[in-house]
Amino acid sequence: MYIHPGLILHSLTGLVILLGLFPEKCMSRIESFGPNRSDRTYEIVADGQTERSTSDTDLSIASGYESSQSLLSDKPRRRPSRSRGAQRARGQRHDLQNTWAVQQAKIFIQHKFAITDNEFYVSSSVRSRFGVTHVYFGQLVKGIPVQNGVMNVNVDDDGEILSYGNSFTTAKSPHETRENLHRRGTKGDQDFTPQHALLVLLVHLEYETLSLDKIQVETSTSDELVAVYTLYLPQEILAAGYEISAYLSYLADDKGKLDMGYYIHFHEGETSLEAFVSEHSRQVTTIVNWSADASYRVYPMGTPSPAEGDQVLVVNPEDGQASPRGWSIVSSQENATTTNGNNVHAQENWAGTPEWKNKYRPQADTSQSFNYPFQDSSEVRDGVDAALTNLFYWCNLLHDIFYHYGFNEEAGNFQDVNFDKGGQGNDGVVAFAQSGSKGNSAVFTTPPDGRQPTMRLSIWTPAGTARDAALSSDIIIHEYTHGVSTRLTGGVKNVGCLGWDEAAAMGEGWGDVFAAVLHMGTEDSRDKTIAIGSYVTGGKGLRAYPYSTDMKVNPVTYADVHRRNTPFRNSHEIGLIWGSMLYEVYWNMVDVLGFTDRWHSASLEHGNTLWIQLVVAGMQFQPCYPTFLQARDAILQAETKITGNRNQCLIWRGFAKRGLGYGASYDGVKRKADTSLPPQCEE
């Protein structure tokens, strides 16, 4: 949930938890849903090609400039100075460019859509290393936020608008008088209060019914614009560690019409969700579930789990640029001797509770080595040291790799301390192994920037014996990638953009395909077949088909999305379709451009690293609530900007093979699969 800083207090209080209502309820199973609006658009305005270098070296800040329109040098980047003065100068120039780009984006949307300053607000912005600033806006109607009114504008450094995505509605407010009451934080009409809305949500979530007078409420306002309500449940059924808050909002329905109600943020154990409760219908009309589903002895790249090989003792794997103080530094303290650091806090969760600071972690020896060989045992707790070491290693490794492709502090990555490089901080990943709350599950909860995400990995038993998901790095990669795609799509403060339908499915597909790709090696070829979750399922895998470029092994296409009498009716299986398209693109690029095992290099000259760069950049280009078609186009536009159309046809051929070709279409109701290529790619 995002409420922009001009509307509310910067932090919400009132942490509570529901106990004993339905202990067996698995909140992570709650399906997200919401309006399927066909009026959402994504349009490419310009190709964004420039004379600048497209090598894998970053573009450097020029040593001097006369205006904010000329901040970048065309020369390859030199190693930046580490002096405080140089760092401060780079930050000031970056801020100047970012501010100017935001102004250009504001001017564009005001002229393009004939809207005024009081009809939108700037949610966030982030500038990529390729000279594109991604600016995110939220919609206001008479001062009230429209929860699914989101716009993103992609601006080149010369001020050129490259593309935009728009889900602003043109509907007007039907209840101006009542809105103004709520904007001032006054009581207004008592027929439908935040307490009423919470009761509706509790019933929808199948909790026991409470009487209205049992719910206490506190009201906070900021700038006298909108009231934020913090809600408390009775003492006998709550404990520390819980948060419920609500605020007045609009939601645009399937036809773009406005519905007034309360948007509620609701955190329960393994799941955080946001929901819209309509004042008119007294029903829940939208839910976005935020949860998707030294030296270290670990299962390294190329060895996803104990089933594929042995552990290796990896020495000094930290990346100095992504993790300047290493992995085992906690805040301003000296080296930690446990799996606890700036990027990740890894611990057991046998009790299945949200508290994490005082739970068990393995200790490093005097040489700062986490050397715990895994020994298969019927008692899985015997392997907790090896599991936590593996979990800590992989979450940190992913942090460092994604950092070089643009998921850095400013873009909302996961760090407690951001070293004055932008972003909010205070959000290193809380990673639980052997989570006892629910078996056979893996969950990643992604709140907005500045709030800690949580990864919960449980013990799995489908294989007939208990297997620890924290030893299966493909599952760790899948879950961590949920956090990356959620923070990058729609901006760091709007984490609901991948909530349902094709957007949610792509979240699953990105997780799968990164889990497959990040275990590729120099000896692998497009003949390789990969079953995600093979270890925890005894070799079967978690999807209907494995990842393969062989259509006989994996036949999925765009035509299968929501097809009746098939497995492709939920986000995980539809995600297999999206992931399979990207897997085709990956091999097209590797076959032509080759492979490098230097994953941190973010090289634009090798197929595997360029593929990661384009997919990650595409997440920032694409609009909120993207469709397959819009996400495909965002990747294509990212390629145009980054490598100047040299690899367009490799991308087109991958998508076209799986039915998302040049003539594919989706009008919000019907999908048309197509395998044709654009004219420039026809042989």
The catalytic site residues sit at 479
**Structure tokens that stand for 35 in this block:** 């309006």
Q: How far apart are CA 542 and CA 474, in angstroms?
A: 11
On whether the CB atoms of residues 444 and 453 are closer than 8 A, the answer is yes
Q: How far apart are CA 367 and CA 663, in angstroms?
A: 60
Q: How far apart are CA 169 and CA 231, in angstroms?
A: 30
Q: How far apart are CA 44 and CA 632, in angstroms?
A: 12
Q: How far apart are CA 522 and CA 511, in angstroms?
A: 22
Is 502 marked as a binding-site residue? no
Is 478 marked as a binding-site residue? yes
How far the first Cα of the chain sits from its last, in Å, is 47
Q: How far apart are CA 403 and CA 209, in angstroms?
A: 46
Question: What SS3 class is residue 321?
Answer: coil
Count CA atoms closer than 13 A to 207's CA, side-chain side: 21
- Going by the DSSP 8-state scheme, the letter that residue 389 receives in this structure is H
On whether the CB atoms of residues 341 and 396 are closer than 8 A, the answer is yes
**Structure tokens that stand for 421 in this block:** 């490089």
- Which amino acid would we find at residue 94? H
On whether the CB atoms of residues 532 and 547 are closer than 8 A, the answer is yes
Q: How far apart are CA 296 and CA 373, in angstroms?
A: 10
On whether the CB atoms of residues 447 and 460 are closer than 8 A, the answer is no
* Among 275, 194, 188, CA closest to 230: 194
On whether the CB atoms of residues 369 and 295 are closer than 8 A, the answer is yes
- Which amino acid would we find at residue 120? F
- For the sheet containing 295-298, what is the strand order? 312-315, 295-298, 369-370
Q: How far apart are CA 528 and CA 584, in angstroms?
A: 12
| Residues contributing to the annotated binding site | 293, 478, 482, 508
